[in-house]
Amino acid sequence: MSTSDRTAVVQDGHAHGNRSLSSTLRRARTLLETLALILAFSACATKPLVPFSTDTPPLVLVPAAQAGVLDQRARFREIYCAVLDAHAHELPDYRPCDDALTRVGAELAGTGKLVDLGPSRQRLVAAIVAGVGYECFESWLDPAGTVALHLRKSGYDAMLLPVDALSSSGHNARQIRDEVMAMPAEPGTPRLVLIGYSKGAPDILEALAEYPEMRSRVAAVVSVAGAVGGSPLANDADQSQAEWLQYFPGATCTKGDGGAVESLRPATRRAWLAQHPLPPGLRYYSVVTFPEPERISSILKGSYDKLARIDARNDSQMIFYDQVIPGSTLLGYVNADHWAIAVPIARRHSAIGAIFVTGNAYPREALTEAVLRFIEEDMASSRR
């Protein structure tokens, strides 16, 4: 082969490689835009996100304290800051504490109490229920399980409770009940902390309300960016849009009962809350996503702007006040968008992260540890 021939082959190889990379990025963008479209429940710009309706329970927007919410942001900040500082050089996506949390309104001063970072005495186990569609793109996301690995170093643990990706909260509630009841019963104080992300939060709340037999096995319930009050973005959505997720590469999810979108509509969620007082005797906590606008990933800007027609204090999917469980303990406002707090896209797909999911980096391992440490301290304080 002549020198000119070899040069042509090399140049052709570079061109082919560039085309392949470009094709991969275009495909990735299409996939993520489809996912963003489905999860954002894009509505026509000419239609109101909250349409006129008289089919609603009486509602009022009041300060959290007047809704029975206990503000414990100051103590949670102390715990989270201590965890972040302790693991600054060993965990990914480190942020200084003041950047990891958003200060909203008048936050009280901290207690000054020592934060115990020793091994867990209660050995709490976080059982996480994910949001709409997670089962459909889980294999593509290929999460590394770093949250569970990190928690085990301190005597905690974590697991994912599987639920249908595209089914209603009522359907998924039964699945949660069955998963919890299948766990070996243990003597003493329960260790299971149910953590609901996005739609996972109402799935959990419906399970606890409908199946009292599981309550004695649960130590606490946490909403993390939870769709407690629903999302206005779901009002103009159709279940058929969500079902596109079945065609995500590697998806194994099914249509389920077809009720996921209906379960996320504000009218549905608020009517359910009005008719189902939360079971007493359980501990409820809320972690709210309240990102600075520049922390919203570029691919989520459209849904953020759409929801900002109602309130700019949103995470691209949820308004901040719709994420709080009534009567719960408010732990903190997190400076992360709806995906960043729970879905590590950028860690597994760096090129996509650099171009499309630009605000995805967040210290999720430290946040989860801080939540469990706060709950454990709260439980010990109550016993004393």
Domain boundaries, the chain: 3-42+67-383
Task: Please give the backbone phi and psi of residue 283, each rounded to the nearest 5 degrees, phi first.
Answer: -95, 130
- DSSP per residue over 48-69, as a string? -SS---S-S-------GGGGT-
Backbone conformation region of residue 317, classed left if phi is above 0, alpha if psi is from -120 to 50, else beta: alpha
N-to-C CA span, the chain: 84
pLDDT value for 144: 83
Helix and strand counts by DSSP (H, E) for the chain: 14, 7
Model pTM score: 0.89
For residue 55, the model assigns a pLDDT of: 80
- 10 Å CB burial of residue 102 (0-12, 13-18, 19+) is buried
The answer to whether the CB of 230 falls within 8 A of the CB of 40 is no
CATH of 3-42+67-383, one of 3.40.50.300, 1.20.120.160, 3.40.50.1820, 3.40.640.10: 3.40.50.1820
> Within its chain, how far is the Cα of 125 from the centroid?
17
d(CA 160, CA 143) in angstroms, rounded, equals 11
- In the chain, alpha helices (H): 3-40, 73-86, 97-100, 134-141, 146-152, 169-182, 200-210, 239-242, 260-264, 266-275, 301-307, 345-348, 350-355, 364-383
Print pLDDT tens along the chain (384 aa): 544 444 444 444 444 445 555 655 555 555 565 555 454 444 344 578 888 888 888 888 888 888 899 999 999 999 999 999 999 889 999 999 999 999 999 988 899 999 999 999 999 999 999 999 999 989 888 888 999 999 999 999 999 999 999 999 999 999 999 999 999 988 889 999 999 999 999 999 999 999 999 999 999 999 999 999 999 999 988 898 888 888 887 888 999 999 999 999 999 999 999 999 999 999 999 999 999 999 999 999 999 999 999 999 999 999 999 999 999 999 999 999 999 999 999 998 888 888 889 999 999 999 999 999 999 999 998 766
Instruction: Tell me which residue of 346, 309, 321, 340 sits closest to 42, measured CA to CA.
Output: 309
